Structure 1
Amino acid sequence: MGYGTKKQQGLLLTAVVLFWFAQYVYIPFQTTYLTAREVSEAYIGGILGAYGIAQLVMRIPVGVMADSIGRHRGFILAGTIAAGLASVIRINMPGGNGFFIANLFSGFASAMWISFMVLYTGFFPAAEQQKATSRIILFNNLGILLGFISSTYLYKIFGMSFLCLLSTFSAFAGTIISLPLCDSKEKQHPAGSPLKTLKVCLNKRLILFACLALIQQGIQMSTTMSFTIQILKDLGASSILIGLSSIIYMLSAVGFSGLASFSWFSKKGPAFLIPVVFTLLAVYCFLIPTIRPVPILLFLQILPGLATGILFSYLTSEAMKGIAPGVKSTAMGFYQAVYAIGMTLVPVFTGNFVHMFSMKSAYFILAGFAFMGSMIAVCYYHMTALTSE
């Protein structure tokens, strides 16, 4: 078996940073911008939802096609091109309709993340899959972090069109860098009929960890990316402090993604780390609506960064463990489609709960979800240990 060269790995990781920068550089101010253009709140919700719905629709078909064709470079190029086209649309159609269409393109682009991950992890032997997964998620988070930093400092000066222009250039650069990518040898042969590859979606381990990722991603989108920002605004935090909260979150996500591949974390393993980090995420959801000093709230943003950097890395590698190479893209497509449900529906649930009851009660429910994830993981690894004895 031939694994990827350092040059191929470097090209792909660079493309990952550029791709996610293109996808996220405009995100922190998207809602603010659309509101200023007098787009209704209901339509803004539809615009935001278009991104998630496009991923839900596309991820499993993309995975099946990638396994059937046996190659990933074309899907990666399609993703970077679609990310660039999305921002071209935003520049030329700067209203609600343009952003709705653009977010469909962005959702299509994010569906291609399957091929980025499968190609990169395919460069490494089975024993190094956890490290490889942590590394590519680190570069994923690094691209988002750079996007957040850029938008925080540039939006007020240059406006949304400039951020979208940066997005377009970044996506174009990602496309150029992806051109020399090569599929590893074992990926050159079709995996079989689409119906056969779809059977992997019945894998119980894959389903379990996909559902745990649904909880983690749903909480992340509902809190750090949404209502935690509203809590900070209600407490009188400035736009700079709100931007800083996102930067602290992404910095910790990048840092912990790097730490996830260290030997100490490898020795502790997923049976210890997954329940512990889920519990810390529950603590975060409990504390955020109950603590008032803004500096402490900013400090607490480290906890969801821990979840994104370590928990999500381990959930992904655990979901893919034991999956045959010929159906890995379909399995990854299923996994990502399931957690995309959480990214789409959990924020809607949280918003309705906030409207009907209160922010505090909504966050307490999310804390319950996180604690439930911890208990499910504990029970799974306990039962696995018993059956292996």
Structure 2
Amino acid sequence: MSIIEALHCPGNPYLQHYRKTVSRFPGKMECLMIGQPVSPAAASAWKSWLQARRSPILLTLVGLFWASLYTYPTFMSPYLTELGSSPLMTGLVIGSYGLTQTILRLPAGILSDHLRNKRLFIIAGLVASVISATGLYLSREVWLILVFRGLAGVAAAMWVHFTTLYLSYFPVQDTPQAMGRISFSNNLGTMAAMLAGSFLAQIKGWRYAFLLAIIIAVPSLVLSLAVQEERPHAVPGGETRSRSSLRAALSIGSDRTLLWTSILALLAQLVAFATVSGFVPQYASDLGASKFELGLLSAFSLLPRALAALLGGSLLARWFKLRSLVAFGFALTGICTALLPLTRDLAWLFANQFIGGIGIGLQMTILLALCTRTVPVNRKASAMGFFQSVYGIGMVAGPTLIGFLAQQFNLGTGFVMISGFSLLTAVLAILVL
């Protein structure tokens, strides 16, 4: 058992088996001598010190990681249209980002639990981000953009390891607050990247947003080498490694809480990737939005999403039932999506996306906090991989479905149908959570 695992359970008799001597740490407390049990107070102080050391590095890396993936999605649909892509093909390119995540997240989570190494996958995600951004910068063919956008999804698939590693720094009861902080960092990095990327696209051209992604991804890869992870060690009388069999890992989906939160997250991502991350930028472009205004529009969605993530996990969760917050988020998003076809002015579109962003932030923060709550510690990476693989289906289905509807009917019809999914899911959340 590692020091981190033991400190989750102060007073655990396994503490006396440590083969590491820690003679001094902040507060001038001396403990963890070989064979010497550690008091709950000493364990708590040591844990707090580790959190203070490790959390800022990983939180900073989270913001940079998502920034490297989001300097350009704000204008992806109008950019592809300019290159001659059909609405359906545009939907497929946008959906490829979710497809590769759906395929890889569960296997990556299982392999991470097997190897007991999350840091390796975080580094691999940054490598994929560098290659993806470079390929998008150099490509002018739609099929190549499809490939490299899919590779961006490979990078995003490693998000499971960021979340499980960060949550491992904290006791279980602090999960909602920790999830709120990491979601805030995620959204803040994404929002800053969208604004910077769209500004560059406005003054220099589309491709400079891809170049910015490269500039962010390369130093992020270097910073990822500084990420620390406490890996399990052998303990007499205990498990030597936290490996699960493939059958046990795959059976993780039988956990009721994990299964239903995953399904709800799938529907949340379907709506988000059909609208704000899919065809709302195209709709705004048709209304006359400039390249920078497209980035500003995305920021108007992400800012309330970040604030809702921070407040939803730390403050609102204390006052309201979690299922009520999730249902409210879906209802709010559904109403805003239904109103999109009636929005003919950019100012009203900005207001629509701001309000809808609150709903998205509440949904995903609470669902992320709930999904692994009832899962054993040694299977949390597998569980998070399952959760994110399932919701990745929505990231593929959303843009593909609305692209098909736009091609067969019109974009307004697509928005109305997508809003129906969100409103029905609000009811489902009340019933199953």
Same fold by TM-score, threshold 0.5 exceeded?
yes
SS across alignment from 1:30? helix
Larger radius of gyration: 2
Alignment of 1:22-33 (within 5 A): 22-33=68-79
Q: Which residue of 1 aligns with 2:270?
A: 218
* Residue matched to 1:368: 420
How far the C-alpha of 1:316 sits from its partner, in A, is 1.2
Residue 311 of structure 1, CA deviation: 1.3
Contact 1:274/1:374 (CA < 8 Å) preserved in 2?
yes
Does residue 319 in structure 1 map to residue 371 in structure 2? yes
Residue 182 of structure 1 is aligned with which of 209, 228, 243? 228
Contact 2:285-2:294 within 8 A present in 1 as well: yes
CA distance in 2, matches of 1:177, 1:251: 25
- 1:156 alignment partner in structure 2: 202
Alignment match, 1:48: 94
Residues in 2 aligned to 1:187 and 1:358: alpha-carbon distance in whole angstroms: 58
**TM-score scaled to structure 2, two decimals?**
0.82
Corresponding position: 1:343 with 2:384:
no
Partner in structure 2 of residue 247 of structure 1: 299
Show the counterpart of 1:191: 243
Corresponding residue for residue 385 of structure 1? none
The whole-number CA distance in structure 1 between the counterparts of 2:421 and 2:85 is 33
Of 56-65 and 351-360, more deviation after overlay is shown by: 351-360
Q: So what's the TM-score if we normalise by structure 1? A: 0.90
Separation in structure 2 between the aligned mates of residue 299 and residue 187 of structure 1, nearest angstrom: 52
- 8 Å CA contact 1:191–1:197 kept in 2: the answer is no
Q: Which amino acid aligns with 1:120?
A: Y
- The one-letter code of the counterpart of 1:309 is G
Quick check: 2:128–2:151 contact (8 Å CA) kept in 1?
yes
Equivalent position to 1:138, from 166, 184, 200: 184
User: Contact 1:65 / 1:194 at 8 angstroms: preserved in 2?
Assistant: no
Compared with structure 1, are the counterparts of its residues 98 and 230 closer, same or farther at alpha carbon in structure 2 (3 Å cutoff)?
Answer: closer
Determine if contact 2:71/2:193 at 8 Å carries over to the other structure. Answer: yes
Q: Corresponding residue for 1:387?
A: none
Counterparts of 1:29 and 1:358, CA distance in 2: 20
Q: Which runs of 5+ in 1 are unaligned?
A: 382-389
**In the alignment, which of 268, 277, 283 is matched to residue 335 of structure 2?**
283
3-state SS, counterpart of residue 321 of structure 1: coil
CA distance in 2, matches of 1:179, 1:154: 29
**Bigger proportion of residues as helix:** 1
Could you tell me how far apart the structure 2 residues matched to 1:275 and 1:245 are?
25
How far has the Cα of 1:196 moved from its partner?
Answer: 1.8
Take 1:35 and 1:29, find their aligned partners in 2: how far apart are those partners? 10
Deviation at 1:115, TM superposition (A): 0.3
Q: Among all aligned residue pairs of Structure 1 and Structure 2, give the percentage whose two residues are the same amino acid.
A: 27
Contact 2:72/2:210 (<8 A) preserved: yes
- The amino acid of 2:161's aligned partner reads S
Please, which moves more after superposition, 348-357 or 126-135? 348-357
Matching residue within 29, 48, 61 for 2:107:
61
Contact 2:325 2:363 in 1 (8 A): yes
Q: Distance in 2 between matches of 1:233 and 1:92?
A: 24
Aligned mate of 1:78, from 107, 114, 124: 124
Select the residue among 314, 324, 334 that pairs with 2:386. Answer: 334
CA contact (8 A) 2:92 2:399 kept: no
1:192–1:16 Cα change, 3 Å: same
SS in 1 for 2:313: coil
> Kindly tell me: are residues 47 and 229 of structure 1, through their superposed partners in 2, closer, same or farther at Cα, counting changes over 3 Å?
closer
Change in Cα spacing, 1:212 to 1:268, as seen in structure 2 (3 Å) is same
Distance 1:288 1:46 in 2: 22
Query: Following TM superposition, by how much is the alpha carbon of 1:171 offset from its aligned partner in structure 2, in angstroms?
Result: 1.5
The farther-off stretch of 85-94 and 141-150 is 85-94
- Deviation string 1:32-55 (CA, Å, 9 cap, x unpaired) is 444444456665444333322211
Q: 8 Å contact 1:22–1:147 — kept in the other structure?
A: yes
User: Structure 1 residues 90 and 378 mapped into 2: Cα distance closer, same or farther (>3 Å)?
Assistant: closer
Deviation at 1:118, TM superposition (A): 0.4
Shift of 1:11: 0.7
In structure 2, the residue matched to 1:269 is 321
Which residue does 2:66 correspond to in 1?
A: 20
1:165 to 211, 216, 219: 211
Alignment correspondent of 1:353: 405
CA distance in 2, matches of 1:11, 1:44: 36
